[in-house]
A and B are shown apart, each in its own frame.
Chain A
């Protein structure tokens, strides 16, 4: 099958099998920044934003997402133009192996968009669906707090 998607702001035609999951389709088309950690819908490594909402792409049938807007971690910032959240993750040491990181960052991005000043408890609740075995979550929470602060500061300055 073929269908059109808006991926990271660009219109793309992707081909896929009728029963294929979005994670597999995206990876097959080179979006390897979306990671496969379990394919069970539990680890959150495969998180993307589907119409701005974080979802586990391994639990989405590609066909059902046809025409929708998809954002991967590269859609919010790249190596040459990183997003504040990505920089905050690096600064405080929230990236160890980096395998959980794209999913974590997208979840953080969606959270901070809705709630620019989340409490530690709110951050923890939001990250509940993303496993990280390296960091113990401590510095990830810290990174999101820092990014929130910087984003608020930037908004303030206009």
Chain B
């Protein structure tokens, strides 16, 4: 293992204490003088045409300044997905439409002097709806007589299958080998259908935005966003306002998990400020976050795989149906990832077919959500691996070890399936999945507990496992940039576009720069995500920040290092090959002498051949090295009530070299607990009319401290040669494994196979009742 000075240390988050003492600001903490408050009117119907809006009474309501709707706002087709350019999600959205497509779709917006006045005025807007037939079942979406959700004006901006006439938001179809042959060769074929459900990200800070004109007449957008640069580009287009006159500032963000990649509110607030020439504030309530923002796309996966008695897999056929809801945000890319991030794991399969379709319905809108399709795909795959391994009587761990991709190997999937287009060929250079599984197995006592059905009273114990890989950024698409300069005391400013949404990326980027320059993180002053002040970055998504933005910071710091050496050579006439940076100095390895960085800075700034030591660098990657992870859970099933009691969940991750192990553990623990919570308690409950009836924290249960089992986390030793100081990504992967691991453990306990999430007591109980005897 390499010898590092700053990498691999659990340094404190640089914004930790300012957050713990409440001094750092989130969007709603900024005081914007004389701001108008915006409030949104939402559709009570799942599918309806707006025949008329009468706002006469509402306009007379106290404090009201303006009311926006389809009659007075220019309709520019766009997507709210918040992705790079060209955008892979279809343009099927306008600011205010003449049609509503789910309960919670926006209808109108009031701008008033106070929040209360804005909300009062909402009640006075009269909307005349013509109710249309809703579409709730994605399986029926493509039927010829299904209601059409979108008009033919909607379009895809890249060459992909998109057919609003069939409610088809995206389609992916790839195959290789000979499926017939694979089927013929199989001794056993397992054919099952799996369902993953809707969920809310539940970032504790709701979506928030403030807009105003600064002293120079430029539009400032303070936003709780994961993608400040995309916000600038998208707002400029949708509001038809020059990009050069927009500045987006991302303050502290109270969690994102994909929810805040969506550019949903910024264009509304910007529109109000541009038209009214007044500041505007738009903060969603928790109920609005649930009802009108974005969710995890529900997915139906029909998976068919064949094995020989020897355990060799002869074919795999995956048919994925993704419900994108009323709009096609991330419909293509999440769909692609249901295959692209999942199937390469079993790279030895020669005969394979992946068919994916995303369809419109009149239900809430899917979006980016930690895991991004991999969560949905691994739910099916890990259960299938459990079923198959039991059929051929090979332990799950050995079965996975037999089939998973290894160092030096590739997968055809990498090449044929990317995010919305063809992928990029790559060879896996680091994979420690075996070590991950072995650690988990011993952490939870796999050998002693698997298949033992240890019983106490009504409770039967089981253990189950699941594995996953993800990516590190989108190859040849994601880009990050950094710039740096030195100050007189040998400190550095580091400006990055990378977007810290609570993950700690500001800290790990400082550690990367510090490693190159031989300084502690407190000598690195980080400024991130201000479109006026920092270089570009695509933002915080696709697990890209450590690998891509980290790569940019490393390159930038290396340029700075060379300039520092130049100055040292001028000062001391030293030989470059003897120079290193350590302990805030340039050191001469040969003579043992050193010059402090402060002397270097002062010499360069004030003394001779004066110049500012400064540099910038950008980074993209031709590959996206996957991190690997395993989660093993132990649980009790209460056969009297169907309740599942988690005992422990052990997770081990190969994320390459951990830049900051404490922050890595935090990412894994957060993702795993979110995944456990998703599997057991989180659920969207709809009325027969498509109305979400549990859209509050009171009724939408998510795990609190008392619900968590014992959580064990381990980082296995690994080094990814293409990553900055050996690092790969870590933010998303941990959410993929809890649900299938629980399903496999429930089966291990009581012999009941659950194909549909979430595993609520009634579902487990009903399944148990269907079993006459426990048939393991």
Within 8 A of A (CB), among B657-712: 662-663, 665-666, 669-674, 696-698, 702-706, 708, 711
A35 at the interface (CB under 8 A from B): yes
B705 and A128 form a contact (CB under 8 A): yes
From A72, A82, A138, B708 is in contact (CB under 8 Å) with: A138
Contact A97 B21 (CB under 8 A): no
Size of A's binding interface in residues, CB under 8 A: 55
CB-contact partner of A96 in B201, B286, B502, B704, under 8 A? B502
Interface residues of B in 1-47 (CB under 8 A from A): 10, 12-13, 15-26, 28-29, 31
CB-CB under 8 A for A37 and B204, given A87-B17, A93-B666, A128-B705: yes
Which residue in chain B gives the minimum CB-CB distance to A134?
B670
- Which residues of A have CB within 8 Å of B705? 123-125, 127-128, 130, 137, 140-141
A37-B286, A42-B697, A97-B205 given as contacts; is B255 within 8 A of A105 (CB)?
Answer: no
* Cβ–Cβ contact A77 & B21, under 8 A: yes
In contact, A90 and B203 (Cβ under 8 angstroms): no
Question: In whole angstroms, what is the CA distance A79 to B20 when docked?
Answer: 8
Q: Using A98-B502, A131-B702, A138-B708 as known contacts, say yes or no to A37 and B206 having CB atoms under 8 A apart.
A: yes
Chain A, residue nearest B18 (CB): A79
Does A132 lie at the interface of the complex (its beta carbon under 8 Å from any beta carbon of B)? yes
Name the residue among B17, B252, B285, B702 with the largest chain A CB count within 10 angstroms.
B17
Q: Is the CB of B670 within 8 A of A73?
A: no
Cβ of A136: which chain B residues have Cβ within 8 Å of it? 669-674, 708, 711
Inter-chain CA distance A8–B231, complex, in Å, is 38
Q: Which residues of B contact A43 (CB under 8 A)?
A: 204, 286, 697
How distant is the Cα of A43 from the Cα of B719 in the complex, in angstroms?
39
CA distance A131 to B702 in the complex (A): 8
CB distance from B579 to the nearest CB of A (A): 35
- Which residues from A are CB-within-8-Å of B20? 73, 82, 86-87, 89-90, 95, 98, 101-102, 105
Interface residues of B in 178-206 (CB under 8 A from A): 201-206
Interface assignment of B84: CB less than 8 Å from any CB of chain A = no
Which B residues between 226 and 273 are near A, CB-CB below 8 angstroms? 252-255, 257
B521 interface hit (Cβ, 8 Å) = no
A133 in contact with B674 (CB, 8 Å): yes
CA of A135 to CA of B706 in the docked complex: distance in angstroms? 14
Contact yes or no, B669 A133, CB < 8 A: no
A102 to B629, CA, bound (A): 32
B501 at the interface (CB under 8 A from A): yes
A32 within 8 A of B: yes
The answer, yes or no, to whether B295 is at the interface (CB within 8 Å) is no
Q: How far is the CB of B294 from chain A (nearest CB, A)?
A: 15
In the complex, what's the smallest C-beta–C-beta distance from A98 to chain B, in angstroms? Answer: 3
Question: Which of A1-59 touch B at CB < 8 Å?
Answer: 27, 30, 32-40, 42-43, 45
* B471 located at the interface, meaning its Cβ lies under 8 Å from any Cβ of chain A in the complex: no
The yes or no answer to A78 lying at the interface (CB within 8 A) is yes
| B17 A79 Cβ-Cβ under 8 A | yes
* B664 CB to nearest A CB, Å: 9
Quick check: is B503 within 8 A (CB to CB) of the other chain? yes
CB-based contact A73/B674 at 8 Å = no
| A138 touching B255, Cβ below 8 Å | no
Q: List which A73-89 residues lie within 8 A (CB) of chain B.
A: 73-74, 77-79, 82, 86-87, 89
- Asked if A139 is at the interface (CB within 8 A of a chain B CB), the reply is yes
Q: 0/1 per residue, B500-515, Cβ < 8 Å to A?
A: 0111100000000000
Residue from A34, A38, A98, A139 in contact with B697 in the complex, judged by beta carbons closer than 8 Å: A38
- In the complex, residue of chain B having the shortest beta-carbon distance to the beta carbon of A90: B16
Please name all residues of chain A whose beta carbon is closer than 8 Å to the beta carbon of B669 when the two chains form the complex.
135-136, 138-139
Give the residue of A32, A38, A96, A105 whose beta carbon is less than 8 angstroms from that of B503: A96
Which residue of B10, B19, B24, B706 has the most chain A CB atoms within 10 A of its CB atom?
B19
Which chain A residue has the least Cβ–Cβ distance from B664?
A93
Cβ-defined contact, A35 with B698, below 8 A? no
- A105 to chain B minimum Cβ distance, whole angstroms, is 6
CA distance A32 to B206 in the complex (A): 15
| Other-chain contact of B255, A42, A86, A133, A137 (Cβ < 8 Å) | A133
Bound CA span A72–B504, Å: 25
Are A95 and B22 in contact (CB-based, < 8 A)?
no
Cβ-based interface call for A92 (8 A): yes
Residues of B near A90 (CB, < 8 A) are: 12-13, 16-17, 20
**Set of chain B residues within 8 Å of A133, measured between Cβ atoms:** 201-204, 255, 257, 670, 674, 702
Residue of A nearest to B29 (CB): A32
Known contacts A89-B20, A131-B697; decide if A99 and B255 are in contact (CB<8 Å). yes
In the assembled complex, which residues on chain A have CB atoms less than 8 Å from the CB atom of B203? 97, 99, 133
The answer for the CA separation of A137 and B672 in the assembled complex, in Å, is 11
- Give the nearest-CB partner of B208 in chain A: A36
Q: Which residues of A contact B503 (CB under 8 A)?
A: 96
Cβ 8 A contact of A40, one of B502, B665, B697, B706: B697
Closest to B675 in A: A136
Asked if B704 contacts A78 (CB within 8 A), the reply is no
**Chain B residues numbered 478-537 whose CB sits less than 8 Å from any CB in chain A:** 501-504
Contact of B696 among A30, A38, A128 (CB under 8 A): A38
A residues within 8 A CB of B255?
A: 96-97, 99, 133-134
**Contact yes or no, A99 B204, CB < 8 A:** yes
Assess whether A135 is in contact with B670, with CB atoms less than 8 Å apart: yes
Q: Flag whether A91 is at the interface (Cβ < 8 A).
A: yes
Chain B residues near A91: list those with CB within 8 A.
Answer: 12
Q: Is A70 an interface residue (CB 8 A)?
A: no
Contacts of A99 in B (CB 8 A): 26, 203-205, 252, 254-255, 502
Contact B673 A137 (CB under 8 A): yes
- Complex partner residue of A132 from B10, B25, B204, CB under 8 angstroms: B204
A100 within 8 A of B: yes
Residues of B within 8 A of A45 (CB): 204
Residue of B nearest to A30 (CB): B31
User: Which residues on the A side are within 8 Å of B666 (C-beta)?
Assistant: 93, 96, 134-135, 139
Q: Please give, as numbers and ranges, the residues of chain A lying within 8 Å of B254 by CB-CB distance.
A: 35, 37, 97-99
**How far is it, in angstroms, between the C-alpha of A53 and the C-alpha of B669 when the chains are bound?**
30
Query: Would you call B19 and A101 a contact (CB within 8 A)?
Result: yes
Partner of B706, one of A72, A77, A124, A138: A124
Contact of A98 among B19, B671, B673, B706 (CB under 8 A): B19
B665 close to A131 (CB less than 8 A): no
Which of B21, B283, B696, B704 is the most central at the interface, judged by chain A CB atoms within 10 Å of its CB?
Answer: B21
Contact (Cβ within 8 A) A97 B501: yes
Is the beta-carbon distance between B23 and A78 smaller than 8 angstroms? yes
Alpha-carbon separation in the docked complex, A136 to B29 (Å): 25
Taking a contact as CB atoms under 8 Å apart, the answer to whether A97 and B502 are in contact is yes
Report the bound CA distance from A100 to B26 in whole Å: 12
The smallest C-beta distance from B413 to any residue of chain A, in angstroms, reads: 31
CA distance A123 to B25 in the complex (A): 28
Residues of B within 8 A of A128 (CB): 704-706
Known: A37-B204, A39-B285, A102-B22. A95 touches B670 (CB 8 A): no
List residues of B (264-313) whose CB comes within 8 Å of A's CBs.
Answer: 283, 285-286
Complex: A74 Cα to B503 Cα, angstroms: 23
Asked whether A74 and B673 contact (CB < 8 A) given A97-B204, A133-B255, the answer is no
Q: Give the distance to chain A from B755, nearest Cβ to Cβ, in Å.
A: 26
Q: Which residues of chain A are near B665, meaning CB under 8 Å? A: 93, 138-139
Residues of chain A contacted by B19 (CB below 8 angstroms) = 95, 97-98, 101
Cα A132 to Cα B671 in complex, Å, equals 12
Q: How far is the CB of A60 from chain B (nearest CB, A)?
A: 17
B706 and A131 contact, CB distance less than 8 A: no
Question: Do residues B12 and A73 form an inter-chain contact, with CB atoms below 8 A?
Answer: no
Given contacts A74-B22, A101-B19, A132-B204, 8 further A-B contacts (CB under 8 A): A33-B21, A37-B254, A42-B696, A74-B23, A90-B12, A99-B255, A100-B204, A133-B203
3 shortest A-B CB distances, which residue pairs? A97-B502, A33-B22, A98-B19
19 A-B pairs with C-beta separation under 8 A? A42-B698, A74-B21, A74-B22, A86-B20, A89-B20, A90-B12, A93-B663, A96-B503, A97-B205, A98-B254, A99-B203, A131-B204, A131-B702, A133-B255, A134-B255, A135-B666, A137-B703, A137-B705, A138-B711
